[in-house]
Amino acid sequence: MSWSATILTLYPEMFPGPLGHSLAGRALAEGRWTLDTLQIRDFAQDRHRSVDDTPAGGGAGMVMRVDILAAALDEAAARAPGLPMLAMAPRGRPLDQARVRSLAAGPGAIILCGRFEGIDERLFEGRNIEPLSVGDYILSGGEIAAFALLDACVRLLPGVMGAADSGEDESFETGLLE
């Protein structure tokens, strides 16, 4: 069984993007991993397919609606049961090589790509979602962060890199730059 990634995004056409090339692209073509996208707007109920609203606790900007995201995550979990749910968010735990290695050793991941001012906090209270950050800076959305996460995981999958030990003796494998 191959490693599986499901991306929840407002921009599914961005995928596979750079992941369709080089090592990740070859591994995708060989079936070493699979990529599925879900359009978050498909879970909106109104005629405008609205996915954002003002924050429940107040504040500037708009956040992604909890009801829409919960429905999208539930659908993703039904399609790929047992996968960990991740949200690419600047408030999340910093992504490191140890977390990448543990994700790559598993069955895959469901990855939520945030937009706007972020994700309604009630989603994290109601679902088992791990927020992950790729750094202390702001991106336009979680898609770029998802590319980084997926590239880091896919290269560690069996058979993706030429030599099996290529991923063992690298920068950050032991916590330090080589």
What does DSSP assign to residue 162? S
Confidence of residue 1 (pLDDT cuts 50, 70, 90): confident
What is the pLDDT, as a whole number, of residue 33? 98
pTM assigned to the model? 0.90
Please say if the pLDDT value at position 59 is more than 90: no
Whether the Cβ atoms of residue 9 and residue 113 lie closer than 8 Å to each other: yes
What is the pLDDT, as a whole number, of residue 54? 82
What is the pLDDT, as a whole number, of residue 134? 96
Q: What is the 3-state secondary structure (H, E, C) of 60-77?
A: CCCEECHHHHHHHHHHHH
Question: What are the residues facing 87 on neighbouring strands?
Answer: 112, 131
What is the pLDDT, as a whole number, of residue 177? 55
Please say if the pLDDT value at position 97 is more than 80: yes
Give pLDDT tens digits for 100-158.
999 999 999 999 999 988 899 999 999 999 999 999 998 999 999 999 999 999 999 99
Name which residue leads in pLDDT, 169 or 113: 113
Question: What are the residues facing 35 on neighbouring strands?
Answer: 5
Domain boundaries, the chain: 3-154
So what CATH class is 3-154?
Answer: alpha beta
Lowest mean pLDDT among 2-11, 47-56, 92-101, 136-145: 47-56
Residues in contact with 162: Cβ distance below 8 Å, sequence separation at least 6, in sequence order: none
Task: Round to whole Å and give the CA distance between 85 and 148.
Answer: 16
Task: Round to whole Å and give the CA distance between 46 and 3.
Answer: 35
